[in-house]
């Protein structure tokens, strides 16, 4: 479970171009569910995802993660983790073990093979390379992109790129998947395929959080909760349990 209370993120504080991307947001995200952040661009969805995904620290407010395992907290602390004031070093450790990210532009590294791209998040974990290579190959098998294992990502089609990006998000076996506008660059057919894969992940018990202003996503039957956002604030929550 992810618990946000009065989270605010301000950029360029005390300067003329100061703006508040996320303003006093309180929200609870249930485990094993698909939650959608819905809103126009500039509504603060992406910043909120970054805050939840331990990529950035809020200017104020608290974020708590429940039932997350870390190496640096004691067992008791792990049950309700306050990540608000953790330095980047520790946020990153949580991020790479707990979260998998799927980006709007896929964000794959050009010039290296699809397999290497999938393996990238595992490099700094210190895991044995043979182990995560095997896992990456299994994921490629699962998403039927095995034949591209050795090809540079430039050679892949849009649909294949998307599947490689999802495989990469899964390589460290995270409990929570975060996707930022995943269908923005996909046609309806590929978007449909994407939602199908999201459905599979959900049925595996993953918590999924998607920011999108694509009706195909937020009107999907798979969505458990849809959080409406505008100007950094929550405008309404539908389907909450």
Partner 1 sequence: MIQHPAILALSVAALLTCFMLAYAARYGTRILEKWDLHSGSELQLDLERRTYLISVILSYMLVFQILSLFLYIFTADNLHSQFTGAMCAAGSLGVNSYGYPVLILKIVNCLLAGVWLIINHVDTRGYDYPLIKTKYGLLNVLAPLILLEAVLQFAYFLNLKADVITSCCGSLFSTEKHSIAGEIAGLPNGPMQLAFFGMMAVTASVGIFFYLRGKGGGFFSFFSSLTFIIAAASLVSFICLYFYELPSHHCPFCILQKEYSYIGYALYATLLGGAISGLGVGALKPFISHPSLSRVIPAIQHRLTLVTLVLYLLFTLIVTWRMLTTSFRL
Partner 2 sequence: MNIPLNRHSNILDFSLSSLLRRKSKNLSLLVVYTLIIFVIASLIFFVQALKREAAQLLKEAPDMVVQRMVAGRHDLIPAAYGEKISAIRGVTSVSPRLWGYYYDQVFGANYTLLVAEGKPVEPGNIMIGAGVARNQRIQASDMLTLKTSANEALLLTVQGIYPSSSELISSDLIILSAEDFQAMFNLPPGQNTDLAVTVANPREQVTVAAKIAELFPDTRPILKSEILRTYDSLFEWRGGMIVVILAVAVLSFIIFAWDKATGLSAEERKEIGILKSIGWETSDVLLLKFWEGIVISLSAFLTGVVLAYVHVFFFSAALFEHALKGWSVIYPQFRLVPVIDVYQLTVLFFLTVLPYTAATIIPAWLAATVPPDAAMRS
Shortest approach of partner 1 to residue 99 CB, angstroms?
18
Q: How many residues bind partner 2 (CB under 8 A)?
A: 37
User: What CA–CA distance (Å, rounded) separates 46 from 56?
Assistant: 11
Question: With CB cut-offs between 5 and 8 Å by kind, which of partner 2, partner 1, none does residue 196 bind?
Answer: none
User: With binding defined as CB under 8 A, does residue 126 bind partner 2?
Assistant: yes
Would you count residue 180 as binding partner 2 (CB under 8 A)?
A: yes
In whole angstroms, how close is the CB of 232 to partner 2 at the nearest point?
A: 14
Q: How far is the CB of 168 from partner 2 (least distance, A)?
A: 7
Do the Cβ atoms of 67 and 31 come closer than 8 Å? yes
Binding to partner 2 in span 38-67, by CB under 8 A = 46-47, 49-50, 55-56
| Tokens describing residue 19 | 């703006």
| Per-residue mark of binding to partner 2, 79-118 (x: CB under 8 A) | ---------xx--xx-xx--x-x-xxx-xxxxxx---x--
CA dist 66 and 95 (Å) reads 14
Query: In terms of Cα–Cα distance, which of 57, 22, 65 is closest to 42?
Result: 22
Q: Name, in order, each residue with C-beta under 8 angstroms of 176's C-beta and a sequence gap of 6 or more.
A: 2, 98, 99, 100, 206, 207, 208, 209
Residue 41 Ramachandran class (φ > 0 left, ψ -120 to 50 alpha, else beta): beta
Q: Which is closer to partner 2, CB of 50 or CB of 156?
A: 50
Give the residue with the Cβ less far from partner 1, 91 or 137: 91
Cβ(37)–Cβ(91) under 8 Å? no
Which residues between 181 and 240 bind partner 2 (CB under 8 A)? Answer: none
Is 110 in a helix, a strand, or coil? coil
Using alpha carbons, select from 154, 155, 146, 160 the residue that is nearest to residue 115: 146
We find the least distance from the C-beta atom of residue 240 to partner 2, in angstroms, to be: 26
Closest to partner 2 by CB, 73 vs 103, is: 103
Among 5, 20, 28, 59, binds partner 1 (CB under 8 A): 59
Contact indicator for 63, 22 with CB cutoff of 8 Å: no
By CB under 8 A, tell whether 89 contacts partner 1. Answer: yes
Which listed option, partner 2, partner 1, none, makes contact with residue 13 (CB within 5 to 8 Å by class)? partner 1
* For helices 158-170 and 129-142, angle between their N-to-C axes, nearest 10 degrees: 140
Any contact of residue 125 with partner 2 (CB under 8 A)?
yes
Site of interaction with partner 1 (CB under 8 A): 9, 11-13, 57-60, 72-74, 84-90
């Amino acid at each position: 479970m992810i618990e946000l209370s009065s989270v605010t993120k301000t950029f360029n504080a005390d300067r003329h171009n100061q703006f508040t991307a996320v303003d006093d947001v309180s929200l609870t995200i249930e485990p094993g569910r698909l939650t959608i952040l819905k809103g126009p661009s500039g509504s603060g969805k992406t910043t909120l995802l970054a805050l939840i995904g331990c990529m950035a620290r809020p200017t104020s407010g608290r974020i708590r993660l429940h039932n997350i395992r870390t190496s640096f907290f004691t067992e008791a602390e792990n049950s309700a983790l306050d990540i608000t004031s953790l330095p980047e070093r520790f946020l990153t450790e949580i991020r790479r073990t707990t979260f998998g990210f799927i980006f709007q532009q896929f964000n794959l590294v050009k010039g290296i093979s699809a397999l290497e791209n999938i393996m990238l998040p595992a490099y700094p974990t210190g895991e044995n390379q043979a182990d995560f290579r095997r896992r990456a190959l299994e994921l490629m098998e699962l998403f039927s992109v095995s034949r591209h294992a050795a090809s540079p990502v430039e050679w892949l089609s849009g649909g294949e790129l998307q599947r490689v990006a999802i495989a990469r998000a899964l390589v460290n076996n995270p409990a929570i998947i975060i996707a930022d506008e995943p269908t923005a660059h996909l046609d309806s057919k590929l978007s449909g395929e994407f939602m199908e894969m999201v459905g599979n992940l959900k049925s595996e018990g993953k918590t999924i959080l998607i920011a999108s202003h694509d009706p195909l996503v937020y009107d999907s039957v798979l969505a458990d909760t849809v959080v409406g956002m505008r100007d950094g604030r929550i405008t309404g929550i539908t389907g909450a349990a």
